[in-house]
């Protein structure tokens, strides 16, 4: 399911699209339960709870959407969950399994940008503002991420696309599960207007109760509340609430991960059958890889070509050099040579990929920095 929030004429306090950030909030749907249901198809369509035993003092860590339909929620006592739905299937948590799966999904996020901030094992913020050159739009990236996670990991996730973290987080929950909601800058106020004030970052049950005594039930109510009243009741937190109610959130997406590789791949709507077609695609992919390396002031010593044949057989071929390739032409030349180490041309190809690894800072840039007086 996907949606772009209906357009609005309102543009109060919002810059033009070209000046705003492009933020994605990616949230895997009922992650723990979904991993088990993917690996055991007999669980699909059934109420599944991951967590402690209902015969003891266990609690619900995650619940499938079928279980949620009975009112079962995370952090609920497992004994209460079984009373709500006696047919619930209870499974033990397996966090090593979830961490491994999370790592695979985050690797997909990093194919599009280095600016990835994990919020938990199953959700992350991505800032695409400076990484949109190879792509049509942030919406297109969100669609590609959903497609790749489903195809490669067999999992669904919901994504919100917005000009800041606050709105992206709210948007990702707007059409769950397996949803995509895009909120453009001029749509932010109308999007937030009818939503419960509990959707606002930092508004828990106690704060919501205090706001309720002021007649605030929706984000629109909060936006119309006098800012001095908010500050008097909530101090500095009140000023933040007033900004959030107007869709203003300057919190950056922070990351500390060091990139180990940079690559791009493409799945084709029809299989490629000739080497000429494949060479053209290798060149296009190599240009994107070279652009990413140049933008990050990196060089790579290893180039890898990934090939998936029409029957879904997948293989890779790599070449490591003493001197790193510096240009798109050099990468493409290596890519074409590696392609010829496969059966491509004799067999049709449905996917091609080019990846650069063994990354290091560009020596040319280092010399310029260190030699400057």
CATH number, domain containing residue 212: 1.10.150.20
Residue 222 lies in a domain: yes
> Does 325 lie in the same domain as 206?
no
- In this prediction, residue 131 carries a pLDDT of 79
Q: What is the CATH number of the domain that holds 36?
A: 3.40.1170.60
End-to-end CA distance of the chain: 57
Q: Residue 5 — very low, low, confident or very high, per pLDDT cuts 50/70/90?
A: low
Give me the helix-helix angle, 328-339 and 275-295, nearest 10°.
140
> Does 183 lie in the same domain as 88?
no
Residue 320 lies in a domain: yes
- Tens of pLDDT, residues 143-154: 999 999 999 999
Kindly tell me if the per-residue pLDDT of 100 is higher than 70: yes
| Last-in-domain residue among 95, 117, 139 | 95
Kindly tell me if the per-residue pLDDT of 12 is higher than 70: no
- In this prediction, residue 57 carries a pLDDT of 76
Q: Which domain holds residue 167?
A: 2-29+97-189
Q: Residue 9 — very low, low, confident or very high, per pLDDT cuts 50/70/90?
A: very low
- Tens of pLDDT, residues 164-194: 999 999 999 999 999 999 999 999 999 999 9
Q: Catalytic amino acids?
A: 123
Residue 344 lies in a domain: yes
Q: What are phi and psi of 98, to 5 degrees?
A: -70, -40
Q: In the chain, how many domains are there? A: 4
Q: What is the CATH number of the domain that holds 304?
A: 3.30.1490.100
* The dihedral sign for the CA sequence 68, 72, 78, 84: negative
- In this prediction, residue 326 carries a pLDDT of 65
Residue 251 lies in a domain: no
**Nearest residue to 266 (alpha-carbon basis) of 215, 234, 308:** 308
> Does 84 lie in the same domain as 154?
no
Residue 48 lies in a domain: yes
pTM value surpassing 0.95: no
């Amino acid at each position: 399911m996907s949606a772009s929030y209906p357009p609005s004429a309102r543009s109060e306090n919002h810059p033009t699209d070209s000046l705003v950030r492009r933020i994605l909030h990616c949230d895997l749907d009922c992650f723990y339960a979904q991993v088990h249901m993917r690996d055991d198809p007999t669980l699909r369509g059934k109420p599944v709870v991951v967590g402690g035993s209902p015969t003891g003092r266990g609690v619900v860590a995650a619940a499938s959407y079928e279980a949620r339909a009975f009112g079962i929620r995370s952090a609920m006592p497992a004994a209460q969950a079984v009373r709500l739905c006696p047919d619930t299937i209870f499974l033990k948590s397996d966090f090593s399994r979830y961490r491994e799966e999370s790592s695979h999904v985050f690797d997909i996020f990093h194919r599009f940008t280095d600016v990835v901030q994990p919020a938990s094992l199953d959700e992350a913020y991505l800032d695409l503002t400076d990484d949109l050159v190879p792509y049509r739009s942030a919406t297109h990236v969100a669609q590609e991420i959903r497609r790749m996670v489903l195809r490669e990991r067999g999992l669904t996730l919901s994504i919100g696309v917005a000009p800041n973290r606050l709105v992206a987080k709210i948007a990702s929950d707007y059409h769950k599960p397996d949803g995509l909601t895009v909120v453009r800058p001029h749509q932010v106020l109308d999007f937030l207007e009818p939503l419960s004030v509990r959707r606002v970052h930092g508004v828990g049950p106690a704060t919501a109760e205090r706001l309720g005594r002021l007649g605030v039930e929706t984000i629109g109510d909060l936006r119309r509340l006098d800012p001095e009243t908010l500050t008097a009741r909530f101090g500095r937190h009140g000023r933040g609430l007033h900004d959030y109610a107007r869709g203003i959130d300057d919190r950056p997406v922070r990351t500390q991960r060091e990139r180990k590789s940079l690559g791009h791949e493409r799945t084709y709507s029809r299989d490629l059958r000739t080497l000429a077609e494949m060479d053209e695609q290798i060149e296009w992919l190599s240009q994107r890889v070279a652009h990413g390396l140049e933008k990050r002031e990196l060089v790579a010593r290893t180039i890898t070509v990934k090939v998936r044949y029409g029957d879904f057989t997948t293989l890779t071929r790599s070449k490591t050099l003493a001197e790193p390739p510096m240009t798109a032409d050099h990468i493409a030349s290596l890519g074409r040579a590696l392609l010829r180490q496969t059966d491509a041309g004799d067999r049709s190809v449905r996917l091609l990929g080019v990846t650069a690894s063994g990354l290091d800072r560009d020596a040319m840039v280092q010399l310029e920095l260190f030699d400057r007086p």
